[in-house]
Structure 1
Amino acid sequence: MKSNVKTDKPSIFYRISQLGYREKGTALIFVLPFIIGFIIFNVIPMVYSVVISLMDFNTFKPLSMIKFIGIDNYTRLFNDPIALNAFVKSFIYTLFYVPGLIILSFVMATLLNKTFALRGLTRTLILMPYVANVVAVSIVWSILLDPFGGPINQIIEKLGGTPPMWLSGVKTALPTIAGINVWQSLAFQTIVFLAALQGVNKELYEAADMDGASRFRRLWSITLPAISPTTFFLVITSIIGSFQNYASVRMLTNGGPGTSSRVISLNIYEEAFTLNHYSYASAQAMILFAIVLVITIIQWKGQKRWVHY
């Protein structure tokens, strides 16, 4: 006989679904602090910056007196030679900084990927500039590159050369700052490249050796395609970071001599916190955000031609 008694025991599918809900709830609890922090420190300030860029909040005044002026702050930017020059200087800085950082970090990672004495110690020491305080780094380099009696220029003079002005020269200030920042940022990119190089399939190199491929051929046909996703990531982050180079410029040259190293991040800071032009500074920040966004989108679209996953 068949029993008509029904059991209240939940089905296996019900228990699995309930377990899934509990796991999602637990995951949400762990992620929630980041989401809250991201909203408070990123989303809200960005929305606020967009709003005040459309206002006339360029002097201290009661909030009741702040008026909506549309895109006047944006049109003012295109008639401001100092701001336009700051954007140009930022692009020039990027042209020095990004290729130098990517190339040198790849070369350094390639060297550290080889077996040699004290390799572990060398990998540790390369991190020191990266974790050093930017103010301390700027002070040390200012002393080293002092055009009048600095150690580096003294060595150049003893070797019979003509020392450059470095941070005090109109044409050399911006490349010098880029070089210092490349030196300080080298460790992170090197470590990432090193991890990518160690992940390349060794069988590909063995097959290339059997075919008699040269070192350059192995580099071009195996190594670079294999680490292209890593290269793409580092190029994007380096470009974004190159437009956020306020601290080092402020400490090394403060935009000088003249406006030869006045990049847009420094210009935005001074417009906002020195001249109290909050709306105008926000408009410049929004233009900078749009430029970085466009560059990133172009890179993302162009990755299909050279990035191999």
Structure 2
Amino acid sequence: MPRITKEEKVAFWFVAPFLVGFSLFYLLPTLYAFVISSLDYNSFKEFTDVKFAGLANYIRVFKDPIAISSFGRSLLFTSCYVPGIIVTALMLSMMFNAKFHFRTFTRTLIMLPYVTNVVAIAIVFSILLNPYDGVVNKLLVSWGIAHPPQWLAGIRTSLVTVAGIEVWHSIAFPTIVYLAALQGVPRDLYESAEIDGAGRIRKFLSVTMPLISPTTFFLVITNIIGSFQNYAIFRVLTNGGPGTSSRVISLNIYEEAFSYNKYSYASAQAILLFLVILFITIIQWRGQKKWVHY
């Protein structure tokens, strides 16, 4: 075998902490989930009584209307959350990239929602969006809207409202990433476009968007993955209610595992969620060749 160079040894020791952490906290739990999803296991049984179930847990998921509807709500949440955070982050980054007074202070303020505790966010927004005594609905009534939305208390509005709150909570990271991408766009390209008679919209579509498309691709993938795994914001804001209107799949998996002790069934749902995310990611990787420019 070829001799390992000194640089390769140093590189290995730099990578080793990540590999150890990834193996302990990601790889092994994932493999364990695959194993117990094929068993009939819950905490009320002795381990000797656990039997092999094969694909029975996966088949049960497709026959469970609550699980299927939870997957559908996660897709709906993703379709609201991802476009919202991408568009909002791009608009904010373009504003922060311009020159204005107190620009540094304003850039700092964008980090406040990101570092705020989720429980504190839930308390504040629950008070603001109270359908009866909340400040938001009182303002809407004073502006002539007789029947304002129910927000978190409405069956049709709860999921979209949580998506909007989560956009506000998570907006800092994509905004900073977009800002870094915008500052990397060469100024001479804008000058050349101006010489050719391009206006602001044409410069944005023909210069800015193509050059920041790798950043957009990165943010779309990471936010789609994060939206399917989003649990805390639903837990503290609605806990899946009212009824099951905001019971997304991450919340359903948690309830099945730790409230009903159906670990094998919950693991099967988690594996199916992994496959859904993998399928969407593969489609994005194949489609990015048409609109991402490196």
* Partners of 2:195 and 2:18 in 1: CA distance: 51
- Which runs of structure 2 are paired with 1:113-152 in the superposition (5 Å)? 113-152=97-136
> Among 235, 252, 255, which residue is 1:250 paired with?
235
1:197 matched to which residue of 2? Answer: 182
- Secondary structure of the equivalent of 2:40? coil
Q: Aligned equivalents of 1:290 and 1:238: distance in 2?
A: 17
Partner of 1:74: 58
CA contact (8 A) 1:58 1:280 kept: no
Task: Supply the distance in 1 between the matched residues of 2:197 and 2:218 (Cα, whole angstroms).
Answer: 32
TM-score by length of 2: 0.97
The residue type equivalent to 1:58 in the other structure is N
Q: Which residue number corresponds to residue 272 of structure 1?
A: 257
Match of 1:54 among 15, 29, 38: 38
CA–CA separation in structure 2 for the residues paired with 1:22 and 1:98? 44
**Structure 2 residue aligned with 1:35:** 19
Q: Is the 8 A contact 1:173 1:261 kept in 2?
A: yes
What is the alpha-carbon root mean square deviation over aligned residues?
Answer: 1.1
Query: Quick one: which of 225, 232, 235 aligns to 1:240?
Result: 225
Q: Which has the larger radius of gyration?
A: 1
Aligned residues: 292
In terms of mean alpha carbon deviation, does 130-139 or 222-231 score higher? 130-139
Quote the Cα distance in structure 2 between the aligned partners of 1:131 and 1:100.
20
Does residue 228 of the first structure (1) align with residue 213 of the second (2)? yes
Q: Give the share of equivalent positions with the same residue, in percent.
A: 58
Unaligned runs of 5+ in 2: none
Distance 1:38 1:59 in 2: 27
Secondary structure of 1:170 counterpart: coil
SS at 1:171 equivalent: coil
Q: TM (normalized to structure 1)?
A: 0.93
The whole-number CA distance in structure 2 between the counterparts of 1:250 and 1:218 is 43
Task: List alignment gaps of at least 5 residues for structure 1.
Answer: 1-16
Q: Find the residue that maps to 1:276 and give its secondary structure.
A: coil
Amino acid at match of 1:168: A
Which of 191, 201, 206 does residue 216 from structure 1 map onto?
201
Deviation at 1:59, TM superposition (A): 4.7
Between 249-258 and 29-38, report the one with greater CA deviation: 29-38
| 2:267 aligned residue | 282
Q: In structure 1, give the amino acid aligned to 2:118.
A: V
Partner residue in 2 for 1:260: 245
After TM superposition, where is structure 1 displaced by more than 4 Å over at least 4 residues in a row? none
**Displacement after TM superposition at 1:32 (Å):** 1.1
Q: 2:80 pairs with 96, 104, 107, which one?
A: 96
Q: Where does residue 140 of structure 2 map in the other structure?
A: 156
Residue type of the alignment partner of 1:174: L
Aligned pair partner of 1:64 in 48, 53, 59: 48
